[in-house]
């Protein structure tokens, strides 16, 4: 049977759900989300750490975060559902003058972008905030108290639920197999549930975005890269209200697990393993535990001494990397009606509110009024106007 929709969104993760929500809020409700899995959230969204921060280095990332974090504070009012926002903060810990200078410079840029609550903190203050952290080599750090955590699946479900109440349809177990282009414009989709007529398609397919774009003969530089998380139960209970803590000497970072993760939330340990190579690898590699434990032992020995592994909560998922670690947002060059919301490079959860609103504006108004997103245009890779985000975790 031939179905029609004003907008079809490929991918039912947090980004697709946010786009659907924002379209529906604007009165555009003949929208269909297509998700190939049996349920939403089985892509990267369900694997994410749940960190949200505005402490970035580029104006566009700072602005995307500022809008999104503010949105998380009023998520329940906007969607009728809670999102688990906890403003526990992000604490960057510097162990060299160069790192401290970097934090000072990025703080100045953050202030210029209106993010005025980033504090520079000394080693004593860091030790006070994070009991057990080794600070003998610490030069200082930066802390932003409105950074913190949200629950990615709650956000995705909240966006989806409100969008559905407004009339948006969600089809699971429906894979997009082809994108029809006629006269340089999207005309429809081929799916495992038949053909769908539409003139507007949103590529919200996460780490699989390049494959999806290729269905319309569009090339975008989005590569899947595995990221792994280790969950441990420390022998000594953690202090309450710990922030996300980032050891800038090697990228090791950790957060207290969300309270609803189980009866005894532990700690999530993470580290961007530079031996990782692009590919669709979503299996958790047990040898990663040793690597992350080594870094944890150096910075917070009490986290791992006598700790037990929560093996069922260790996981691996995919970052969707672009060459400049920034998202690709905009209408595809050469194919009218194909909109890209891709390549978040590990920040798609925290940037989902701004992304959804911007996509709705691009689709309905032809331009984004929330923010100038020209820096994120898909054309930048061909014209060489790449961005530079140095604060990637
Ligand atoms: C370990 C880990 C930790 C992370 N931590 C954070 C964090 O702290 N903060 C943060 O902001 N981000 C984090 N991220 C990144 C974040 O998870 C992603 O940026 C975000 O989930 C992307 O959302 P999405 O909706 O674009 O993609 P996804 O959630 O992957 O959704 C895409 C969906 O598209 C579907 N799909 C693909 N192709 C097709 C097709 N042809 N037809 C139909 N459906 C299709 C997939 O099945 C999938 O469900 C983390 C990621 C990982 C792996």
Atom 31, ligand 1: residue with shortest CA distance: 13
Find the 319 Cα to ligand 1 centroid distance in Å: 7
Within 8 A by CB and 6+ apart from 337, the residues are 185, 186, 198, 199, 200, 201, 331
Atom 26, ligand 1: residue with shortest CA distance: 206
pLDDT of the residue at 238: 83
90-to-86, 143, 245, 368 alpha-carbon distances in Å: 11, 6, 6, 29
Looking up tokens 């953690």 gives: 238
Find the 192 Cα to ligand 1 centroid distance in Å: 21
- Taking the C-alpha atoms of residue 349 and residue 321, their distance in angstroms, rounded to an integer, is 14
Helices (H) and strands (E) in the chain — how many of each? Answer: 11, 21
Atom 48, ligand 1: residue with shortest CA distance: 43
Pocket test for ligand 1, best of 9, 11, 67, 258 (most atoms within 8 A of CB): 11
Please report how many Cα atoms fall inside a 13 Å half-sphere around the Cα of residue 155, on the Cβ side.
Answer: 32
Quick one: 161 exposed, middle or buried, by C-beta within 10 A (0-12, 13-18, 19+)?
middle
Atom 15, ligand 1: residue with shortest CA distance: 346
Find the 224 Cα to ligand 1 centroid distance in Å: 10
Q: Which two tokens stand for residue 171?
A: 């089809």
Residue closest to 159 by CA, chosen among 376, 313, 356: 356
Provide the 3-class DSSP secondary structure of residue 393: coil
CA dihedral 362, 366, 371, 376 (to 10 degrees): 70
Q: Are strands 51-52 and 90-94 parallel, antiparallel or unpaired?
A: unpaired
Which protein residues touch ligand 1 with a CB less than 6 Å away? 10-16, 34-37, 42-45, 47-51, 175-176, 204-208, 212, 227, 229, 317-320, 344, 346-350
Find the 13 Cα to ligand 1 centroid distance in Å: 6
- Taking the C-alpha atoms of residue 67 and residue 152, their distance in angstroms, rounded to an integer, is 17
pLDDT of the residue at 214: 98
pLDDT of the residue at 1: 57
Q: Are strands 3-4 and 194-197 parallel, antiparallel or unpaired?
A: parallel
- Taking the C-alpha atoms of residue 39 and residue 170, their distance in angstroms, rounded to an integer, is 10
Q: Which two tokens stand for residue 52?
A: 């949200």
Q: Are strands 244-247 and 90-94 parallel, antiparallel or unpaired?
A: parallel
Pocket test for ligand 1, best of 8, 10, 12, 13 (most atoms within 8 A of CB): 13
311-to-155, 164, 229, 284, 307 alpha-carbon distances in Å: 25, 36, 10, 10, 12
Total Cβ atoms within 10 A of residue 87: 16
Provide the 3-class DSSP secondary structure of residue 202: strand
Pocket test for ligand 1, best of 206, 280, 321 (most atoms within 8 A of CB): 206
- Taking the C-alpha atoms of residue 48 and residue 337, their distance in angstroms, rounded to an integer, is 30
Average pLDDT per block of 10 residues along the chain, 393 residues long:
91 99 98 98 98 97 98 98 97 97 96 97 97 96 98 98 98 98 98 98 98 98 98 90 96 92 86 96 97 97 93 97 97 96 98 98 98 96 86 73
Find the 237 Cα to ligand 1 centroid distance in Å: 32
Residue closest to 153 by CA, chosen among 346, 354, 352: 352
Please report how many Cα atoms fall inside a 13 Å half-sphere around the Cα of residue 211, on the Cβ side.
Answer: 14
Sign of CA dihedral 362, 326, 324, 277: negative
The answer to whether the predicted template modeling score (pTM) of the entire model surpasses 0.95 is yes
Displacement of CA 352 from its chain's centroid (Å): 7
Provide the 3-class DSSP secondary structure of residue 328: strand
């Amino acid at each position: 049977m031939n179905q029609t929709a004003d907008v079809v969104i490929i991918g039912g993760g947090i980004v697709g759900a946010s786009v659907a929500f924002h379209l529906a809020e604007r009165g555009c409700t003949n929208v269909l989300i297509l998700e190939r899995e049996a349920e939403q959230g089985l892509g990267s969204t369900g694997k994410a750490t749940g960190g949200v921060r505005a402490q970035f280095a580029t104006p566009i990332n700072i602005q995307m975060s500022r809008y999104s974090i503010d949105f998380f504070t009023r998520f329940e009012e906007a969607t009728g559902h809670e999102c688990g926002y906890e403003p526990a903060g992000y604490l960057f810990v510097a162990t060299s003058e160069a790192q401290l200078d970097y934090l000072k410079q990025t703080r100045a840029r953050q202030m210029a972008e209106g993010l005025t609550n980033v504090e520079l903190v000394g080693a004593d203050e860091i030790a006070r905030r994070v009991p057990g952290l080794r600070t003998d080599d610490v030069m200082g750090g930066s802390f932003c108290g409105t950074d913190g955590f949200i629950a990615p699946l709650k956000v995705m479900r909240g966006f989806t639920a409100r969008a559905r109440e407004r009339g948006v349809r969600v089809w699971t177990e429906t894979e997009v197999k082809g994108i029809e282009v006629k006269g340089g414009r999207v005309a429809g989709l081929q799916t495992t549930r038949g053909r769908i007529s539409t003139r507007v398609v949103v590529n919200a397919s996460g780490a699989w975005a390049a494959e999806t774009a290729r269905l319309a003969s569009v090339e975008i530089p989005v590569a899947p890269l595995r990221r792994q998380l280790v969950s441990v139960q420390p022998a000594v209970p953690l202090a309450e209200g710990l922030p996300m803590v980032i050891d800038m000497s090697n990228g090791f970072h950790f957060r207290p697990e969300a309270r609803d993760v189980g009866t005894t939330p532990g700690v999530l340990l993470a580290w961007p393993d530079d031996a990782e190579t692009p590919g669709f690898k979503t299996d958790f590699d047990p040898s990663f535990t040793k690597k992350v434990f080594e870094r944890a032992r150096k910075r917070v020995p009490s986290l791992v001494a006598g700790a037990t592994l929560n093996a069922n909560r260790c996981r691996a998922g995919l970052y969707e990397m672009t060459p400049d670690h920034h998202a690709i947002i905009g209408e595809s060059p050469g194919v009218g009606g194909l909109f890209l919301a891709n390549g978040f490079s590990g920040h798609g959860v925290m940037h989902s509110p701004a992304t959804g609103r911007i996509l709705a504006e691009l689709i309905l108004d032809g331009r984004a009024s929330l923010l100038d997103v020209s820096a994120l245009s898909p054309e930048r890779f061909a014209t060489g106007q790449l961005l530079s985000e140095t604060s990637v975790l």
